[in-house]
Amino acid sequence: MRNPLADKIVDIKPSGIRKFFDVVQTIEGAISLGVGEPDFDTPWHIRDEGIYSLEKGRTFYTSNSGLKELKVEICNYTNRKLGVTYSPDNQVLVTVGGSEAIDLALRAMINPGDEVLIPQPSYVSYEPCAILAGAKPVIIELKEENEFRLTAEEILEHVTDKTKILVLPFPNNPTGAIMERKDLESIAKVIIEKDLFVLSDEIYSELTYTDKHVSIVEIPGMLERTIMINGFSKAFAMTGWRLGYACGPKEIIEQMVKIHQFAIMCAPTTSQYAAVEALKNGDDDVAMMREEYNHRRRFLLNEFKDMGLPCFEPFGAFYMFPSIKRFGMSSDEFATRLLQEQKLAVVPGTAFGDCGEGFIRISYAYSLDDLKRAMERLRAFTTQL
């Protein structure tokens, strides 16, 4: 029999997290800080709208690019939050989570051999999606001394004639880093000069603990060269509803709709009705959750300081990325021993790129009580090292 598999797929490494997942399940009484989704339930009024939509029999496909009402709300929301204007008719596409939008944007824009700049440590799917789209991924290793922000110099060091897209993953998973207006202004210059497009993954935009999230599309000249991705998972605690969206120039969105139409048809209808409610009446829920995350973030930062675990102060998402370099172990070894000796599961930084070596990702999408219990274990582990 012939080899049934495509080399391109076989060559892609499976996610580093999966390996750990199998180990942790065999350890009884283990507690985990490895989750990348909110611990809150979806606010009830949002779930309620989902349920109503089912009761009313809204069980059909929506238009390929999404429910008109939802696209209008997305445009209102981006206008309210970022001060930019998108047309609900041809500049918005509702997707199955932000993840689908990442895949679609890359596939719609990449020609074979194009290069995609991917800053790491970052979410696990950019690199494989770029490869699947036929691009050559070029990794930019973000530095701790820059608080894992992306600088114009770093872009210039990696840009070539073939570079077409820059992935901009801020607020960042796993580091919690953000890009402030001045950071974005300085990279925007290079992006325009080198004629690049930007795939800006802003799924954690609502979870910013300084003033407010700034998007690259707010910087003059960037709106027309950016696909801005966001979604409902993190802001409204709606991970299981699988709903995200992309906004951008209509020429690009049009082509993304084509792939989406043939691969997915449309995003889940129930989720879309619930999402309308989230955008209309969900601001207070988001504020409540943000405040809670912020308390936990400060709590962890203080705990790390107390146990001598160096960590820059992250201002976004719900992750901390402390350095474990001084213990003379690899991230993988640290995480494995922490799990075996103290039954505490964290994700090694290397799951998010090679340059995550020397760091671990700790999620604070857990109740304060859970975090306290976990910190006792982490403290016990680090003091005996």
Partner 1 sequence: MVKREELLRSIDKNSRISISELAVMLGENEIDVANELKALEDEGIICGYHTMIDWSKTSIDKVMALIEVKVTPQRGIGFDSIAERIYKYPEVTSVYLMSGGFDLMVMLEGKTLKEVASFVTNKLSPLDTVLSCSTHFILQKYKEHGTILTKKYDDTREIFTP
**Cα–Cα distance measured from residue 347 to residue 334, given in angstroms and rounded to the nearest whole number:** 10
Give the shortest CB-301-to-partner 1 separation in angstroms: 8
Tell me the site size for partner 1, rule CB under 8 A.
28
* Residue 47: HSE in the Cβ half-sphere, 13 Å Cα cutoff: 10
Q: For partner 1, which stretch binds (CB under 8 A), given 11-19, 69-77, 104-112, 137-145?
A: 11-19
Position 373 contacts partner 1 (CB under 8 A) = no
Q: For partner 1, which stretch binds (CB under 8 A), given 46-54, 113-121, 147-155, 291-299?
A: 291-299
**Cα 101 from chain centroid?**
12
Give the shortest CB-4-to-partner 1 separation in angstroms: 27
Position 119 contacts partner 1 (CB under 8 A) = no
Q: Which x/- pattern over 122-151 shows residues binding partner 1 (rule: CB under 8 A)?
A: -xxx--------------------------
Q: For partner 1, which stretch binds (CB under 8 A), given 81-89, 151-159, 221-229, 297-305?
A: 297-305
Q: Which residue in 118, 141, 142, 131 sits closest to 199, CA to CA?
A: 118
Q: Beta-carbon neighbour count of residue 289 at 10 Å?
A: 23
Position 332 contacts partner 1 (CB under 8 A) = no
Position 37 contacts partner 1 (CB under 8 A) = yes
Residues linked to residue 348 through DSSP beta bridges, in sequence order: 360
What one-letter code names the amino acid at 29?
Answer: G
Give the shortest CB-236-to-partner 1 separation in angstroms: 16
Of 87, 111, 160, 302, the one binding partner 1 by CB under 8 A: 302
Of 8, 80, 212, 295, the one binding partner 1 by CB under 8 A: 295
Residues linked to residue 197 through DSSP beta bridges, in sequence order: 165
Sheet holding 360-363, edge to edge: 319-320, 360-363, 347-348
Handedness of CA 351, 234, 299, 180 (dihedral sign): positive
Position 241 contacts partner 1 (CB under 8 A) = no
**Tokens describing residue 29:** 């009484």
CB 178 within 8 A of CB 321: no
Give the SS3 label for residue 232.
coil
Residues 6+ apart with CB under 8 A from 119: 139, 140, 141, 142, 150, 154, 167, 168, 169
Position 36 contacts partner 1 (CB under 8 A) = yes
Nearer to partner 1 by Cβ, of 74 and 124: the residue is 124
Position 173 contacts partner 1 (CB under 8 A) = yes
Q: Which x/- pattern over 84-113 shows residues binding partner 1 (rule: CB under 8 A)?
A: ------------------------------
Size (the chain), residues: 385
CB 282 within 8 A of CB 234: no
**Cα 352 from chain centroid?**
11
What one-letter code names the amino acid at 325?
Answer: K
Nearer to partner 1 by Cβ, of 309 and 351: the residue is 351
Nearer to partner 1 by Cβ, of 125 and 336: the residue is 125
| Maximum C-alpha span of the chain | 61
Position 21 contacts partner 1 (CB under 8 A) = yes
Using CA atoms, how far residue 212 sits from 18, 369, 374, in Å, is 34, 28, 30
Of 6, 8, 9, 25, the one binding partner 1 by CB under 8 A: 25
Give the shortest CB-99-to-partner 1 separation in angstroms: 10
Position 40 contacts partner 1 (CB under 8 A) = no
Of 299, 323, 327, 337, the one binding partner 1 by CB under 8 A: 299
Of 133, 289, 351, 360, the one binding partner 1 by CB under 8 A: 351
**Cα–Cα distance measured from residue 9 to residue 107, given in angstroms and rounded to the nearest whole number:** 15
Position 171 contacts partner 1 (CB under 8 A) = no
Of 12, 35, 131, 286, the one binding partner 1 by CB under 8 A: 35
**Cα–Cα distance measured from residue 203 to residue 331, given in angstroms and rounded to the nearest whole number:** 26
CB 204 within 8 A of CB 219: no
Of 256, 347, 362, 375, the one binding partner 1 by CB under 8 A: 347
**Cα–Cα distance measured from residue 250 to residue 170, given in angstroms and rounded to the nearest whole number:** 23
Contacts with partner 1, residue ranges (CB under 8 A): 15, 17-18, 20-21, 24-25, 30, 32, 34-37, 39, 123-125, 173, 291, 295-296, 298-299, 302, 345, 347, 351, 367
